[in-house]
Structure 1
Amino acid sequence: MKCCRATQNFSLNHTFHFCCTKMLPKMLPDYDPNDNQAGMKLLEDLTTNAYEIQQQVLREILTRNAQTEYLKGFLNGQCDEDCFKKKVPVVNYEDIKPYIERIADGEPSEIISAQPITELLTSSGTSGGQPKMMPSSAEDLNRKTFFYNMLVPVMNKYVEGLDKGKGMYLLFIKPEISTPSGLMARPVLTSYYKSSNFRNRPFNQYNIYTSPDETILCPDSKQSMYCQLLCGLVQRDDVLRVGAVFASAFLRAIKFLEDYWKELCSNIRTGHVSDWITDPGCRSSVSLVLGGRNSELADLIEEQCSGKSWEGIIKNLWPKTKFIEVIVTGSMAQYIPTLDFYSGGLPLVSTMYASSECYFGINFKPLSKPSDVSYTLLPNMAYFEFLLVEKNNGELTQKVHCNGVSDKNCIQASDENEEFQTLDLMEVKLGQYYELVVTTFTGLYRYRVGDILMVTGFHNKAPQFRFVQRRNVVLSIDTDKTNEEDLLKAVTQAKCLIEPLGFLLTEYTGYADTSSIPGHYVLFWELKMKGSNDLPELDAEKMEQCCSKVEENLDSVYRRCRKKDKSIGALEIRVVKHGTFDALMDFCVSEGSSVNQYKTPRCIKSEEARKLLDSKVVGKFFSRKTPFWEPFRMEIN
């Protein structure tokens, strides 16, 4: 197969020459974000020509980057698709980490990308306790802007009148650092909010927020939260939609409002921002929004917030709100009942599927129930491949949970296979499970994202996917993603504190408890004395130290959420009676698990199983201190 050569104009408006005569949309086509009809037509064109656009994307990526050190090592300068799939390996982060670290340390971008790498995006997934770093370029910001603009016509198709008001979206930035090369390493949303693309965004109805940019960009999360809520309350009559990126962040805002509503009402009543708001940008911008005194509004908000129950508080405080926009798929599904309680029956809308590596897909039916949410991958965002997740694969028993509902027939394929047979976007089949593999414009080649997806249907010729879970992630409250290996390491360190006392940890499991805000990790430990099944009186101080030791050995994202963001509560260990995990196995077998293949699940998702474990608890202990955390430091060898 011969390559097609791209033109050398790689700006936002670049064109591309094809091997076929069919005219396809530009990779990042120009269109007016306020023109909903043009936006929907563009989405129809992209999904109708999904196969051709995917081929176009791969050709362009290979043509651009054929001479990079990484690709040249496998392809020797070729840009043939067949060679690419035969010779370029499917990789995990550890495989590409040395290349990215070399760029962070000052070597040229040409190691992996013909385009200059302008920043490194820190993923919430971790490696060795530190965030993963993903390469990004200036063009990548344009790609994200295009993606965000595509959300507008879809929402306008299903919800009328959004141009008549504002969105109260609670958006925040996270810590960032400068690498030895001078490149910034920061979370993907921090990158976008700080970019000129965000600050100079076209002010269509979906870009008009109650929060001034200065409050979003405030580095102090407490001041940022307070000021954004204050602005949202003052402009309550203009608010047509509320939300945050993740459900956990939105609920954290509700908890913050519970703690600070009296002070917020005082600010509205006096027309004066609290003195502890010291950030200059926040003070000046919020003072303008606040205007002057407004006793009537303060009394109204006070009346709503001082009631016995906060059920339906969102609808009561912002009566014109049409929906809540938050991600409620994957691990965020655990927050749906709490959101329903506060929302007053408002629809929960998950609009998009994205990550630090790449922005992937859009929900073409945003008002669908959270359990039915599917995303259509936009074929011009990256080149997509898929690894089949096998069913009923012998002893490889790892249940996949679709939005919290267990699918007993879905078993993840082994990671031990050295060769991976991938499928293209157009080769996936309805009802099958796959792990996503992505090749980006910015230097990731055949990279395993770690997300498990299920094909739910097709929009034109583009498949639609339901997000099922992160590969091997067992616990998650906010942006933390604790996998089975990291949990084992942390528990192993903690049990060393009690082993000198004669205790043995025979089994453990856990779950993410989101019944309160903030949520927290709960671990069930079954302990015994050496040479005996009797469990003597537990030393509360020593068990609390075990809780803290687990937290100290979890990754930096968990520790940041716990210490700085305060979005995760103190870790809890519940000690259970001897024989509890035998009873858990009996329960799982009664639910259909095989005795021969049974392995203790490291995360309990069944409510019945949790109740069984809780009925056996003999002691509950919490961490008494927050774990050590400091902003991400470069550790490049």
Structure 2
Amino acid sequence: MSLSVELKDLEVLTTNAKQIQDDVLKEILTLNANTEYVQRFLHGSSDKELFKKNIPVVSYGDVKPYIERVANGEPSDVISGEPITRFVQSSGTSGGIHKIFPVNDKYIEKLGYLVDVSSFITSKHFNDNVAEKGKKMAFLYNRLESKTPSGLPVSSSFTSYFMSDYFKNRPSKCNSEYTSPDQVIFCPDNNQSMYCHLLCGLSQREKVVGVSATFAHALVKALNALQIYWKELSSNIRSGHVSEWITDTNCRNSVSATLGGPDLELADMIERECSNNSWEGIITRLWPKAKFIECIVTGQMAQYIPTLEFYSNKLPIVSMIYGSSESIFGVNVDPLSKPQDVSYTFLPNISYFEFLPVDHEEDMNNIVDLVNVKLGCYYETVVTSYFGLHRYLVGDILQVTGFYNKTPQFRFVRRKNTVLSVNSEATTEEDILRGLARATLVLESSNSMLMGFTCYAYISTFPGHYVFYWELKAKDVNDVVELDEKVLAECCNALEESFGSLYKRLRSKDGSVGALEIRVVQQGTFDSLMEYFISKGCSSAQYKTPMCINSSEALAVLEDKVLARFYSEKSPPLDL
């Protein structure tokens, strides 16, 4: 099936999901029938029932030896029937380790296809063809690729996409979709790139209809940079010249052309708005035609929703795409849904999808096809891709929320293995995010807002307890954060009240879980944490603040910045 897209194609895809999924599996098995990996189980067959019976459900450790053999120079047909031309690398911030997955140009096309689908849907819902009537100020970044021992490039999914011919040669009308020229995206220095994204966006403020980034964290970081650099940005616009520290030649020249000369009136406006003590609604004040914020805010990115709402006067936050390094999955067909209600419609022409019910993990015979999932049930995704993954457990737990035509829609619930536990309880991402939502409501009574968090299970003493690291910022720019012991202790209580019944019993009756602790850290701490992970190979564009910290080195980064500690002052009430 062609990967070119119009909205009517989405109707065809989602109406014929079963047949398309069967065709995709047939194509994958035919392409890979003679690979060393598949040959072991199917002996050249492409039969679906034999596939279900003989191909095992696997995790990364099972396929890692095959992937490493190709990375080290063995032929692609160890695992893939088509040539492997590059590897995509996971962020390493969810599960704690980097993984690499083999792909080729078809993967890039599929990612580009999903981006195109999301763009069509966004345009439809906001009644504005962004490419023709307005632009997105998009904070998109590239990162220098590394190489495998055999010389194949390794990068994040989106770096692979931005460096591809698919992106570079996209239609001319799409080239003007963003306020920044492509040279800003290609700039290998992300600090220079971020500054130039802001400069280009400000210089075209009347054309900006949307503000976007891949992840919410990247957008919050850009807004922090705006607070730091607004005087310099205004000076650049007043003079029509780019700051000397922007040394990437292609980036500098393209931004100079975008500025097009001095603009004194615009510079005055920026200074007037940014010198205001309150930055509430700064996005709509600087970009008055902005209609939406676009970034991924599901999962651990949900922590940034209150901050984005504060800065944008509660513009709609659109979370359009669901994907991972293993595969692209789906798109949000209802951009106006609230961030906490976002569901993704899986696209059946991307990969072959199966689903393992979360209460039947030990019985692989309970795996069901895409069209056979049940409303309200929870599943772990199992993916078979074109590039060498066969029945691979992705590790994401999803809930079926509905159907779009014949295709199911899923809400991202949590990563399977990212939990807190100090005893026999298991606190999930969903529990933590629910608690965080309650705690930030408590925090609103103060002059502070939460800029970043992570947590870990402290078990060096008994009883062990949960530790949350919080970075706070004053709502008013010129104010200093005042730590209100009563408010922060109540935040601890709100977190605990959102956890499971076993946690509450162990905390309240058994005393085998200690009082939850919030450690407030210095401003800039989570930037330091990001720099640590980037130094270990994570892409800055792909970076997600880990919800739970497992690394002693990363914990040391946080511990070095602790300002104050606060504890829950009462046990959470037991569930009835």
User: One fold, TM greater than 0.5?
Assistant: yes
- 1:315 counterpart = 2:272: no
State the match for 1:509 in structure 2. Answer: 466
Q: What letter is aligned with 2:146?
A: I
Q: CA deviation at 1:138?
A: 1.4
Q: CA deviation at 1:373?
A: 1.0
SS at match of 1:90: coil
Match of 1:341 among 307, 310, 314: 310
State the match for 2:38 in structure 1. Answer: 71
SS at match of 2:102: strand
State the match for 2:72 in structure 1. Answer: 105
- 1:428 counterpart = 2:397: no
Q: What letter is aligned with 1:90?
A: V
Measured in 2, the distance between the counterparts of 1:182 and 1:558 equals 21
Match of 2:11 among 39, 44, 51: 44
Q: CA deviation at 1:130?
A: 4.1
Match of 2:324 among 331, 351, 355: 355
State the match for 1:293 in structure 2. Answer: 262
State the match for 2:178 in structure 1. Answer: 209
Match of 1:325 among 274, 294, 298: 294
Measured in 2, the distance between the counterparts of 1:138 and 1:462 equals 26
Measured in 2, the distance between the counterparts of 1:59 and 1:226 equals 47
Q: Is the 8 A contact 1:75 1:87 kept in 2?
A: yes
Q: Is the 8 A contact 1:126 1:132 kept in 2?
A: no
Q: CA deviation at 1:361?
A: 0.5
Q: CA deviation at 1:128?
A: 9.1
Q: What letter is aligned with 2:368?
A: L
Change (3 A) 1:108 1:126: farther
RCO greater where, 1 or 2, for CA within 8 Å and sep 6 or more? Answer: 2
Q: Is the 8 A contact 1:266 1:298 kept in 2?
A: yes
SS at match of 1:326: strand
Q: What letter is aligned with 1:235?
A: Q
**TM-score, normalization: structure 2?**
0.78
- 1:257 counterpart = 2:226: yes
SS at match of 1:67: coil
Q: Is the deviation greater in 95-104 or in 508-517?
A: 508-517
State the match for 1:590 in structure 2. Answer: 574
Q: In the TM superposition, what whole-angstrom CA distance separates every residue of 1:44-75 from its partner, at most 9, and x where no partner exists?
A: 00000000101111111111101100111111
Change (3 A) 1:429 1:567: closer
Report percent identity of matched pairs: 50
Q: In the TM superposition, what whole-angstrom CA distance separates every residue of 1:211-268 from its partner, at most 9, and x where no partner exists?
A: 1111111111111111111111001111111110111110000000000000111111
Change (3 A) 1:98 1:226: same
Change (3 A) 1:555 1:384: farther
CA RMSD of aligned residues (A): 3.5
- Flag the structure with higher helix content: 2
State the match for 1:92 in structure 2. Answer: 59
- 1:456 counterpart = 2:390: no
Measured in 2, the distance between the counterparts of 1:264 and 1:272 equals 10
- 1:388 counterpart = 2:360: no
State the match for 1:234 in structure 2. Answer: 203
Q: In the TM superposition, what whole-angstrom CA distance separates every residue of 1:266-315 from its partner, at most 9, and x where no partner exists?
A: 11111111111111111111111112111111000110100010000000
Q: Is the 8 A contact 2:94 2:418 kept in 1?
A: no
Q: What letter is aligned with 1:442?
A: F
Q: CA deviation at 1:204?
A: 3.9
Match of 1:446 among 369, 377, 391: 391
Measured in 1, the distance between the counterparts of 2:471 and 2:103 equals 34
Measured in 1, the distance between the counterparts of 2:205 and 2:222 equals 16
Measured in 2, the distance between the counterparts of 1:561 and 1:92 equals 21
1:156-195 alignment, distance < 5 Å: 156-161=123-128, 162=130, 163-195=132-164
Measured in 2, the distance between the counterparts of 1:565 and 1:124 equals 6
Q: In the TM superposition, what whole-angstrom CA distance separates every residue of 1:509-549 from its partner, at most 9, and x where no partner exists?
A: 234636449xxxx999xxxxxxxxxxxxxxxxxxx9xxx9x
Q: CA deviation at 1:145?
A: 2.0
Measured in 2, the distance between the counterparts of 1:294 and 1:433 equals 55
Aligned length: 488
Q: CA deviation at 1:357?
A: 1.2
- 1:136 counterpart = 2:93: no
Q: Is the 8 A contact 1:252 1:567 kept in 2?
A: no
Q: Is the 8 A contact 1:126 1:555 kept in 2?
A: no
State the match for 1:57 in structure 2. Answer: 24
1:118-133 alignment, distance < 5 Å: 118-125=85-92, 130-133=97-100
Change (3 A) 1:576 1:298: closer
Q: Is the 8 A contact 2:93 2:543 kept in 1?
A: no
Q: Is the 8 A contact 2:20 2:348 kept in 1?
A: yes
**TM-score, normalization: structure 1?**
0.70
Q: CA deviation at 1:125?
A: 3.5
Q: In the TM superposition, what whole-angstrom CA distance separates every residue of 1:141-169 from its partner, at most 9, and x where no partner exists?
A: 22222222222331222112332111100
Of structures 1 and 2, the larger Rg is shown by 1
Q: What letter is aligned with 2:281?
A: G
Measured in 2, the distance between the counterparts of 1:339 and 1:422 equals 38
Measured in 2, the distance between the counterparts of 1:136 and 1:260 equals 39
State the match for 1:571 in structure 2. Answer: 558
Measured in 1, the distance between the counterparts of 2:94 and 2:53 equals 28
Q: Is the 8 A contact 1:335 1:514 kept in 2?
A: no
Q: Is the 8 A contact 2:87 2:100 kept in 1?
A: yes
State the match for 1:607 in structure 2. Answer: none
- 1:371 counterpart = 2:316: no
